[in-house]
A and B are shown apart, each in its own frame.
Chain A
């Protein structure tokens, strides 16, 4: 072999070595980026899966409630109507004069139960949350608090035109219910304030009471209500923050991305 061939082979060898090094580096870089991509996709899928799970759970709850509602209306309701008719008939026939007053009372109790049962059945079967805008749902909720005539309330809603999905509406409503129930029962507050506003890409719910507050670290994991609220928000990819200081009240801020 002449010198030229040797040089040629040496050049070739060096090219191969260089290409090998480049290929090895490329392989590692590509592996890492693909792994990152894969991880991100997996996380996205996990979030999607959680959302689907939540929505199917809610659907099942709704279906179960509707079923119970229909059962109450069609089955128990019919039987109570029959019982009421028998009672009225007994009272009408005047066969037992000495107990006719009691029979009338029984009839009245049955009628009351029937109307309460119908109300219950109605509340279970109707698509209240789905069909109402969030503003009216929250207004109804605050109207219930006003009825107690013990607390001052303030509600500021800035999202009237905004059609929210069922899950978000339901979570916001349940959080407001849970928070106001806690405030009424435990905080000793005089005023409950809530606001629901929408920025460019976020929906922000802030709810505050002026009660005596509590130490968050002492309540960590204690109440199922607080944990539930957090889980519900996080399952929808939202951000949840609760602040409470002794004698300064409690504030809960929840944010959802709307994009």
Chain B
């Protein structure tokens, strides 16, 4: 890791903290809609990040478990719920996505010597499902008459943030083993991953500030 990476890691946690503050500040505006759970989600993600950064600083194996079985699944499951259940109003789609995602963890319990493969598999599957939901959401927005008021649509900002982050990082996590061996590639991809992460949080802040709950 070079200086730039360190700097990005520092700014990211600060940005995540700012997002938490903005989210808590916006909580009164969102408390009567399902968006209040978005505030909780942002807080939980920040707590996980902080825990892995400071709490489990010297326990890297626990860190992997924290991300694999709590940090990343909770993100995917929350977004499945937000997209399928709340935005697209399709409960069955939500349960199907959850089912497929949970099933993608099964190989871990059968071949737990190859942890990395499982990590990549569940991440890839989770990502593909989320991408499908993202595109369904985009087409919903395109077809909607409310496309003219996209500036106040929280899902618009969140959708772009998710798309940018997950499309950008899908090869990074899927090929993590491969990329890790090629140092130059890893350095560049890690920088992109961090930038995408920053952009996503900035878009979350935009959604909280400009978005109006209950409009969509």
Q: Which residues of B contact A26 (CB under 8 A)?
A: 138, 142
Which of B138, B175, B178 is close to A23, meaning CB atoms less than 8 Å apart? B138
In the complex, are the beta carbons of B142 and A27 less than 8 A apart? yes
Q: Of A12, A13, A17, A27, which contacts B147 at CB under 8 A? A: A27
Q: Majority SS of interface residues in chain B?
A: helix
The interface bits of chain A over 25-55 (1 if a CB of B lies within 8 angstroms of the residue's CB, else 0) are 0110011001100100000000000000000
A19 / chain B contacts, CB cutoff of 8 Å = 131, 135
Taking the complex as formed, is B209 at the interface, i.e. its CB lies under 8 A from any CB of chain A? no
B-side contacts of A35, CB under 8 Å: 148
B170 at interface, CB cutoff 8 A? yes
State whether A30 and B147 are in contact (beta carbons under 8 Å apart), knowing that A1-B178, A12-B170 are contacts in the complex. yes
* A-B pairs with beta carbons under 8 Å apart, 6 shown: A1-B178, A9-B170, A12-B124, A12-B170, A23-B138, A31-B147
Q: Does any Cβ of A come within 8 Å of B10's Cβ? A: no
Q: Out of B135, B139, B163, B170, which one reaches A13, CB within 8 Å?
A: B170
B174 contacts A by Cβ under 8 Å: yes
User: Which residues of B in the span 152-181 have a Cβ within 8 Å of any Cβ on A?
Assistant: 163, 167, 170-171, 174-175, 177-178
The distance from the CB of B178 to the nearest CB of chain A, in whole angstroms, is: 7
- Give the total of B residues in contact with A, Cβ under 8 Å: 23
Shortest B130–chain A CB gap in Å is 10
When A1-B178, A38-B148 are in contact, do A23 and B142 touch as well, CB less than 8 Å? yes
Query: In whole angstroms, what is the CA distance A20 to B143 when docked?
Result: 16
Q: Which residues of A contact B177 (CB under 8 A)?
A: 1
Q: CA A38 – CA B150 in complex, angstroms? A: 14
User: Which B residues lie within 8 Å of A13 (CB)?
Assistant: 167, 170-171, 174
What is the distance, in angstroms, from A11's C-beta to the closest C-beta of chain B?
A: 11
Complex alpha-carbon distance, A9 and B176, angstroms: 12
Verify B128–A12 contact, CB threshold 8 A.
yes
B 170-213 to A, binary, CB cutoff 8 A, 1 in contact else 0: 11001101100000000000000000000000000000000000
Determine the distance from Cα of A236 to Cα of B65 in the docked complex, in whole angstroms: 74
Given A9-B124, A30-B147, decide whether A20 and B167 contact each other with a Cβ distance below 8 A: yes
Q: Is B141 at the interface (CB under 8 A from chain A)?
A: yes
B178 and A16 contacting across the interface, CB-CB below 8 Å: no
Min CB distance B179 to A, Å, is 11
Is B120 an interface position by the 8 A CB rule? yes
Please report the C-alpha to C-alpha distance between residue A39 and residue B82 in the assembled complex, in whole angstroms: 33
State the CA gap A27–B171 with chains docked (Å).
26
Question: Is B47's CB within 8 Å of the partner chain A?
Answer: no
Q: Residue B27 at the A interface, CB < 8 A?
A: no
Cβ of B167 and Cβ of A17 under 8 Å apart? yes
Which single residue of chain A is at the shortest CB-CB distance from B138?
A23
Residues of B within 8 A of A76 (CB): none
The smallest C-beta distance from A10 to any residue of chain B, in angstroms, reads: 7
Find B174's partner among A9, A31, A38 (CB 8 Å cutoff): A9
* Cβ contact within 8 Å between A34 and B171: no
A142 and B139 CA atoms in complex are apart in Å by: 65
Please, which residues of chain B bring their CB within 8 A of the CB of A27? Answer: 138, 141-142, 147
Q: How far is the CB of A158 from chain B (nearest CB, A)?
A: 46
In the assembled complex, B145 has its CB within 8 A of some CB on chain A: yes
Chain A residues, CB < 8 A from B175:
1, 6, 9
| Cross-chain contact of B139 among A1, A9, A23, A34 (Cβ < 8 A) | A23
Question: 8 closest pairs, A vs B, by CB?
Answer: A23-B138, A9-B174, A30-B142, A16-B167, A34-B147, A16-B131, A31-B147, A13-B171
Which residue of A has the minimal Cβ distance to B171?
A13
Question: Which positions 110-146 of chain B face chain A at CB distance < 8 Å?
Answer: 117, 120, 124, 128, 131, 135, 138-139, 141-143, 145
- Shortest CB-to-CB span from A40 to chain B, Å, is 13
Given contacts A6-B178, A12-B128, 16 further A-B contacts (CB under 8 A): A1-B117, A1-B120, A1-B174, A1-B177, A13-B167, A16-B170, A17-B167, A20-B167, A23-B142, A26-B138, A26-B142, A27-B142, A31-B148, A34-B147, A34-B148, A35-B148
- Chain A hits for B142, CB < 8 A: 23, 26-27, 30
What chain B residues lie within 8 Å of A17 (beta carbons)? 167
Residues of chain B lying within 8 A (CB to CB) of residue A9? 124, 170-171, 174-175
Within 8 A of A (CB), among B78-122: 117, 120
Complex Cα distance, B142 from A19, in Å, reads 14
